[in-house]
Amino acid sequence: MTSDPAPRLSRTDIARRAALDLPDGGIVNLGIGIPALCSNLLPEGVELRYHAENGILGFSEMDTKLDGDPNIMDAGGNFPKLVPGMAFFDSVESFGLIRGGHIDVTVLGGLQVSGKGDLANWMIPKRGIGSIGGGMDLATNAKRVIVAMEHTTRDNKPKIVNQCSFPLTAPNCVDDIITDIAVIKVKTQGLFLMEAAQGWSPEDVQAITEPKLIVSDNFKTFQTA
């Protein structure tokens, strides 16, 4: 594969772009890694109620301190800031919210996403370790699933593939893919390229994406603010 035509976005900028798609007032669950960065990158005036699988609802951002209260952590080990109205409950109640379809949006990381919207994000077979956690429930039951990830692996192999070779988290579940070079919407007709990073053409994005991309009529340059 050829070298990149322009710089890729940072992990923070991927999260910042994903945060633009979170609905004001919505109930949102953030996965670990890039998704967790979204909580402190919301556009001005947007307020969300975050949910964590281990039994928290209603926090609005993460405490960036590393010495937070170990008794108040989300499922990814982050420290939510305490705000009036937060609720704490057990995992039965928490997964009841998820499986009942009460999560408006979940932002998850990804190892692979297929052209049909299948998601694999919990184990790399060669490593032989991994835990699916609540990802299966979130991917299956959230009203909207956004995957925020880097577009390729460290050796520049596509992570958006024709068919996932890693164990699936859930099939046909992804609505949107936001990477360091593109915003892609998953529809029944295929993968629609909505945005590309500055300096990246649709052809550049296609070169490191296995499935055929359909360039949207509203295609534009990547927006992060």
Q: How far apart are CA 143 and CA 141, in angstroms?
A: 6
Query: What is the structure's pLDDT at 225?
Result: 64
Q: Give the pair of three-digit tokens for residue 176.
A: 């949107």
- Cα–Cα dist 113/117, whole Å: 6
What is the pLDDT at residue 127? 79
**pLDDT, averaged in runs of 10, over the chain (225 residues):** 89 98 97 94 95 94 77 88 93 97 98 98 83 92 99 97 98 99 98 98 98 98 79
Q: What is the pLDDT of residue 2?
A: 67
What span, in angstroms and rounded, lies between the C-alpha atoms of 199 and 4?
A: 9
Quick check: helix, strand or coil at residue 98? Answer: helix
150 catalytic residue (yes or no): no
Catalytic-role residue among 44, 47, 53, 203: 53
Judged on CB neighbours under 10 Å (0-12, 13-18, 19+), 222 is buried
The string over 32-70, giving b where at least 16 C-beta atoms fall within 10 Å of a residue's C-beta and e elsewhere, is bbbbbbbbbbbeeeeebbbbbbebbbbbbbbbeeeebee
The third-level CATH classification (topology) of the domain covering 11-221 is Glutaconate Coenzyme A-transferase (3.40.1080)
Provide the pLDDT for residue 133: 84
Please say whether the beta carbons of 135 and 118 come within 8 A.
no
pLDDT, position 220: 97
Say what the pLDDT of residue 204 is. Answer: 98
Element (DSSP H or E) covering residue 19: helix 11-19
pLDDT at 1: 52
Q: Look at residues 105, 102, 65, 98 and name the one whose alpha carbon lies nearest to residue 82.
A: 65
CA distances from 168 to 89, 96, 153, 172 (A): 29, 22, 17, 10
- CA–CA separation, 24 vs 48, rounded Å? 6
